[in-house]
Structures are given as structure tokens and as C-alpha cells.
Structure 1
Amino acid sequence: MTASDAAILYPQHLAVLQRRAEAAIQRSGHDHLVVPSGNLHYQVFDDRDYPYAVNPHFKAWLPLVRNPGSWIVFTPGQKPRLVYLQPDDYWHVVPEAPSGYWVDHFDIQVIREAGQALAHLPADAARCAILGEPQSALGDYVPNNPDKALDYLHYHRAFKTPYEVEMIRRATARGVRAHRAAERAFRAGASEFGIHLAYCQAARQDANELPYHNIIALNEHNAILHYMQFDRLPPEDIRSFLIDAGASHDGYVCDITRTYATDRNGEFQALIDAVDAAQQKMCGQVRRGIDYKRIHLDGHLALAGILREFGVLEMSPEAAVETGVSAAFFPHGMGHGIGLQVHDVGGFLASDEGGRIDPPEGHPHLRLTRVLEPGMVVTIEPGLYFIDMLLDKVRQGEHADGVNWERVDAFRPYGGIRIEDEVVCTEGDALNLTREGFALPA
């Protein structure tokens, strides 16, 4: 996305945010919305700070992610105000003066010390809906996070503006570039740590700038869903590689997962190809009016069918799902909302007034249970794994004869498979941002 593209799309995005903010504070009975960017946190008994993470409600308004101590104030009928901390500091890099396509849309007040923000905040903190974490407190401006305001904002944040979709697309382009570099490193025989370094170099982001800790796993490590150990030396026999890694762009993120086999003509590669084909069909289900829970349950049937096709299951896909056997091979949810956060908020909300839509019984790890509508951006990430602690329960249970354990043993050294794309629900066919990114020239 070019600067001119952003300049065109941003005003409409900001107008949407202002409408939502006005409705949210009406619901909560306040006059102002106040959003701190957040402050640095320090390690106990030390003067070292943790990596700074900006308040997502702050970066929704403007592309600032490295500005602790700043504030946004929205009052209906007035221009949004940015209180921008630009401290006098010779120990650290001082933020540059505000610049870019967004600055003309704010009343910007530059301060040199954090406490000076009080002069630019509404006079009565009690009339403010203040969204943030406790460490953001300044005087009477302690975040109160009113539920009625948060429920409204979190519910509607699922519907991305065109500006936000473009931001996610740019994050995805960066992530795709890094994923390609990671695959090259894998094919060259690099260690998990070496692949991680190749990824960061290609993304041009260090570990603290990435949206989450990279999952980079070789062989049996693929069966650990959130494997983050990074062995420094490669195994003697490299068989498989799973990478779940994202990237960031101006506050928005991507989340991409791919799995590779060393032997491109072997049986594990054939299993990867089968999961990939099924995953693309699941992505195609992302359409207006489709219950995301349905995609999850249909995915279980499809994956159980693949396991039966490859001789791992000796029971029908329907029986595997009904008995819970499929969950031993696919123990996580199909995906989640994504945008300002990797696991975007509001996935369970029944409406903008709150309430909860629970996951289907027996599927507690599903993070999104809403009906899809245009503007939603979700991930689709089916997986098949050979996890001893889960399969041992099946082996010891009443459905053990429904599994071919010799076939399980044959696939166990490869760990498992996960494939994940980001998909936009539109008025028509699904828009797969991840496949779009991989289709571009390297």
C-alpha cells in the first residue's frame, strides 16, 4: 500500500471509528473516550523494561506503535485529540515529530513529560470511558474499561474497514517474504534457530516487532502446538518443518503457517498436500451468513477423512468426530479473528450488547463462534498432529481399534501438519490474503 492509498482510505476509517466511539460512550453513559497508549513495564527488582506493547485501542486510531505515555481523546462533535509524548531524553531515541497522512485529522498536543498530559485531558475523569491497563493511570485517569463500551467496540472491531484490510495485506506481504526465506533456510539444512534468524532478516523485524513469538519446528517438534525452543543445531536427519510466524505493519498483523517435507515425493508430503487441498476448500466457506462453528466442525470431518484415506483411521469420519477421536489429531480451533491483534477480541460476543456464544461441546479451544459477515477477517488453520499424550488416551480407550497404530508410528517422526491463511469475508467469494501474497513473484 502506497502512502497515497493510505491517505485515501484513512479518512473513511477514522470516520467509522468516531461513529463507533460515540455509540460506545452513549452506551456506557460517558461524555468522552480516553485511550492511553500504555507505559513501559519494568522487571521486578530491576531497571530493565519489558518489550513495549501498544494498547490496541490506541493503534486502531492511528499508526503509532512506539509511543508510550501518549493519549487519544475523543469527544463527540470535536476533532480527535492526540496528546503526543516526545520527551527530552538522551538515553533513548526520542520519537520524531508527528508526520504522515493522518496528522491533519488530529488536534495534536506535544508534551515533554508524561504528567503534562493531564492539562490536555477532559476536566472530569469521571465522565470519561478510559480504555487501557492499570499501569496507564495518570492522576485520576485510571482506566475504568466500562463493559458496555468495550462490548460495543470489541463486537464491531470484527468488521474491518478497507483501510484495515489493506494494512493486513501489507503485513501479509512482509510475512510471505519471510516465510519464503525460512523455507530456503530449511531446504539448506539450517537449525531452528538459524531459520528463525533468516525469517527475522527477511521480515526486517526483530522478535519484539513480530506480532508473536515465532513457532519454528523440525521433525517431532511439529507436534508441539506452540513450540518455541529453537534448537541451535539441526538434527542429523531433517524430515519435516512447520513454521507459524507473522509480521506487523503499522499496528496490524498477519498470521501464516506452512508445513514442508524434506522429501517432496514422499508420503508425508502427500499428506501435507491433502491437508492443503482441504484447507483451501475451508477457506472458500468464508462467506456471508456462514456460522464459523460450522467451518470448524466440517473441518474435523474433512481431516478425519484424510486420516482414513491414509490408513491412520479405520473408522468413518463421522464416527471419529462423534467419539472425539478426531480431536486427538486436531486438538485446536479452526482459527480466529485477526487485525490489530493476532487473536482479535470479540470472537465469542453474541451482540454489541454483550453475551457469549460458546464453542461446540467437545471443542473448547475454538476462538471464534460468530456468524461471518462482510468485513470480517479470519484465519483458517486446520492441523493434523501425532501427539503422544493425546493418542495414548485413545489407545487406552474404547475406540482404540478405530486407529491403525502402525500408521501412527510411521507418521510420528514427522510431528504434524498445520496450514494457515488469512481470509476476508466479502459480499461474494472469499478473499484469501495469504494465497494472494504467495501468488506474487518472489
Structure 2
Amino acid sequence: MNASAPSPDPAALYADHLATMMRRADEALARSGHDHLVVPSGTQHWQVFDDRDYPYAVNPQFKAWLPLTRLPYSWLVHTPGQRPRVVYYQPFDYWHVVPDAPNGWWTDHFDIHIIRKPEEALALLPQPAARCAILGEPQSALGDHVPNNPEPALLYLEYQRSCKTPYEIAMMRQAQRMAVRGHRAAEAAFRAGHSEFGIHMAYCAAVGQDAGELPYGNIVGLNEHAAVLHYTELQRAAPNPLRSFLIDAGASFHGYASDITRTYAHDTGSEFQAMIDAVDAAQQRMCQGVRAGVDYKQLHVDAHLALMGILKEFGVITVSPEAALATGVSFAFFPHGLGHPIGLQVHDVAGFAESDRGGRIPRPQGHPYLRMTRVLEPGMVVTIEPGLYFIDMLLDEVKQNGHAGSVDWARVDAFRPYGGIRIEDEVLCTEGEADNLTRPAFAEAQAAAA
């Protein structure tokens, strides 16, 4: 396990990050044949037949340049050879909180123009619009500046985003620390007998972010609910008895996401706790496999074999791990992918990209939900999240497909009330050993509490 890195000063890393962004933008423009890169931050979206807006979500292409995630109707403009420009929307408004005046370590690197109305941006955008590569959603159109999302530029920029800059890694480490605070509070709430909703609230309070600020909706499942992969219902009453708890939850820091999963048994001396421990040990070995030149698809297949080895050890399956994989039995117990790229987005872009000019690397046959098929490179950050679940729908398919003899159904019945297990860390691929971003954050928090 790598030692936890200290929290660096973002200002010390941001200049190099911005220089990288500008170099990438220059190449993207050369490929698409445009003169200017124009990136809207995005707009508010209004609910149908209502005057209420949905929670605002910033354009990822915008926050790749700027640590600004709550600034709609603004624009980033890059022209090769010139200082980048920010059109910064700061309305006159007494109904809502107005964004603060531009401040902080990023402001020294941009020409900043304040606008009070969205349409005032038009005079500050490059002309003619046809010479601009405009990256955004259709709703961000302003006059002739309609997002055109030229494919050569997008393919190149998204592919390059796979390898994080030192600034981005620092932001992601801090997002880990924040999420770990929440995970520790959530476990304590579970041990105290709280409901799913109560655990969720304890998590948010510890992180200091509400549902609109978290990178995704918290998955908080007690007992059988842990078998629903994206369970977000948050029951207000705790089940009796309490058996198990699965939490998949992250945090956001300057636009970068963390994504961590842990599973707990209420009875720490139970057989289910022993299975959690076995999955956790296997997961740590999988994390160590994140190395430059390793095919992520193979890591996923190897994870199936490791997890089926655990089920064989606990008497849940009666066949070899290899046979369980070949017949599809392993899919019933581990039906999702090993993980995904992560960064500005939880499921970050270019996980299937064959190159920065396009093409798609297919998933292995029989693994339809794997979100990453590339060969790992230094600078990539991926999640490693193996899981074992007892899902009635999928187990019924095992019987229907003629493989009922591959499973000891009495053992399934013993584990079914616990739902399932998932353990998830984020891992940075380096030139050498894997750099687990998650485990040191837990160790750091535990040491601080001692």
C-alpha cells in the first residue's frame, strides 16, 4: 500500500495542467479544422409544465479547464497562441445566490469578462461561429454559436482525458479523503442501527455535501437490498434483524469524483463476514494488477475466476471456477464489470476507445456490462470493484439454462438474506506499482481518529 500523499496546493499544479489543456486544445483544433475552441458551462433545465429547474450539472468539457462547477451560462474560449478567456455569468438577482466574483488561484491564468445577462456573452465569443469548435449540449446555443461537437476534436480530447495530470490526481486524492469521512460515518450509523435514510444522512453530513453536490446518488442497501446493484430507495425504517450493509458512495472536489464501495456484516463473527474478508483480500490483489501494459479486459476475466474460487471455497458452487466462467454461471453471481475509468465523470469517457482518432474495443463475449476495454497506461485511474451477489432473477436463469447442478442451492439460501458484497477502490496506473488512491485515505482517517 502506498503512503497517503499530503494535500498539495492546487495553485502549484494548476499552471502545468492548464498548459496541458491548451496543448491538447491546439491539437484538437488542428484535427477538426477550426480556429477557436468554445466551451459553454451549460444551462439550467426546466421541468416540464413547471417553473422549477432540475439540479444544474456543469459541462465536463468546461470543468476540465476550470474548478467551477456551479456557474451556468458561462463560457471558456481558447484560441491558439492567445491567453484563454472566461466569460463569467454573474447576474443581478435577488431571488437566488449570485456566484462570487472570480477569485482564487485559477484567475491569474485567464482574461475574465463579467456578464450580467446570458445574451451578453455573444459579443465576447469569437466570430464567425463557423470557425469555432463548440463543445456542449444543444441547449447551450447562443445566436449562431450552436454546439457542433466536431468528432475529431471530441475523440482526441476525450482520449487524452484518460491520462490524468498531477493536478487532477491531487484533486482526486482529496475527493477520496472526503468520501472516506462519509464512509466511516455511514458504518458507525449502521452499527448504531440506523435506517438506510439515516445512514445516507450521516454520510452527507460527514462529507459536507448534499445529494445535488455528490457525484452520484448514494447506494445504501441493508440486508437483501445489497443485491440490487443500484439500490437508491433509502427506506426510512431499519429492518429487523440487521444482517448486512453495502454502501457505494463518493464525493466531489473541484469537479473530480470519487467512487468507493464497502460491505459490512452486522455479526462480525459470521460466515458472511468471512466471505467479505475473502472478497476484500481478492480485491486488493486485483488492485495490484493495475499496471502499464495490462489489458483491463483480462483483469475482468481474471476477477471472475478469483470470485468463483471464493464461491467454491464457501461451497456455493460445485464446479471449478473455469467451468463456472465458461457456462455463464459466474455471471449470475458477478453480473457487472470489474470497474471503469473515473475522473471528471464517475464513468469517465474513452473507456472503449481504440485510439484518439476513433474506433471501439469490444467487450469480451458474455460480459455486456464491462465499462473499460483498453490497455492500461500510466496516468489512467480506474475503479476495481468486484462483487458477489445473490440475485433471484439471475439465479433462476442458471436453473433455466440447465446449470442447476453447478450450484448448491442450500448454500445460496443461507447467503441470500445478506444480499451481496462489493468492494471498490480507485487505482492509479503508474510506470511501476499500482497506486491505490482509496486505501491510504482510510488508513489516514483511522490514524487521525486514534
Which interval holds the TM-score relative to the shorter structure? over 0.9
Aligned match of 1:419 in 399, 418, 423?
423
Could you tell me how far apart the structure 2 residues matched to 1:3 and 1:274 are? 32
Aligned match of 1:62 in 50, 60, 66?
66
Could you tell me how far apart the structure 2 residues matched to 1:155 and 1:143 are? 20
Q: Secondary structure at the match of 1:339?
A: coil
2:99 is matched with: 95
Measure how far apart 1:236 and its partner are: 1.3
Q: Secondary structure at the match of 1:384?
A: strand
Gap regions ≥5 residues in structure 2? none
Q: TM-score, normalised by structure 2?
A: 0.97
Measure how far apart 1:4 and its partner are: 6.6
1:143 is matched with: 147
2:30 is matched with: 26
Give the superposed CA RMSD.
1.0
Measure how far apart 1:395 and its partner are: 1.7
User: Residue type matched to 1:400 in 2?
Assistant: A
1:176 is matched with: 180
Kindly provide the CA deviation profile for residues 244-287 of structure 1, in whole angstroms up to 9, marking residues without a partner as x.
Answer: 00000010010000000001011000000000000000000000
**Aligned 1:362-377 pairs, distance under 5 A:** 362-377=366-381
Q: In percent, how many aligned pairs have the same letter?
A: 70
Aligned match of 2:55 in 45, 51, 55?
51
**Is 1:3–1:101's contact at 8 Å kept on the other side of the alignment?**
no
User: Residue type matched to 1:356 in 2?
Assistant: R
**Is 2:8–2:170's contact at 8 Å kept on the other side of the alignment?**
no
Measure how far apart 1:25 and its partner are: 1.1
Q: Secondary structure at the match of 1:83?
A: strand
Gap regions ≥5 residues in structure 1? none
Could you tell me how far apart the structure 2 residues matched to 1:146 and 1:347 are? 19
Matched, 1:299 2:295: no
Matched, 1:279 2:283: yes
User: Residue type matched to 2:371 in 1?
Assistant: R
Could you tell me how far apart the structure 1 residues matched to 2:329 and 2:29 are? 47
Distance 1:106 1:310, change over 3 A: same
**Is 2:280–2:423's contact at 8 Å kept on the other side of the alignment?**
yes
Measure how far apart 1:397 and its partner are: 2.3
Runs of 4+ in 1 over 3 A off after TM superposition: 1-4
Aligned match of 1:261 in 260, 265, 271?
265
Could you tell me how far apart the structure 2 residues matched to 1:86 and 1:27 are? 34
Kindly provide the CA deviation profile for residues 132-186 of structure 1, in whole angstroms up to 9, marking residues without a partner as x.
Answer: 0111111111111111111001111000000000000001100000000000000
Question: Which one is further off, 194-203 or 393-402?
Answer: 393-402
Distance 1:129 1:175, change over 3 A: same
Q: Secondary structure at the match of 1:132?
A: coil
2:255 is matched with: 251
Matched, 1:313 2:296: no
User: Residue type matched to 1:237 in 2?
Assistant: P
Matched, 1:17 2:18: no
**Aligned 1:321-340 pairs, distance under 5 A:** 321-340=325-344
Aligned match of 1:233 in 207, 226, 237?
237
Aligned match of 1:123 in 127, 131, 149?
127
Could you tell me how far apart the structure 1 residues matched to 2:133 and 2:400 are? 54
**Is 2:7–2:174's contact at 8 Å kept on the other side of the alignment?**
no
**Is 1:192–1:233's contact at 8 Å kept on the other side of the alignment?**
yes
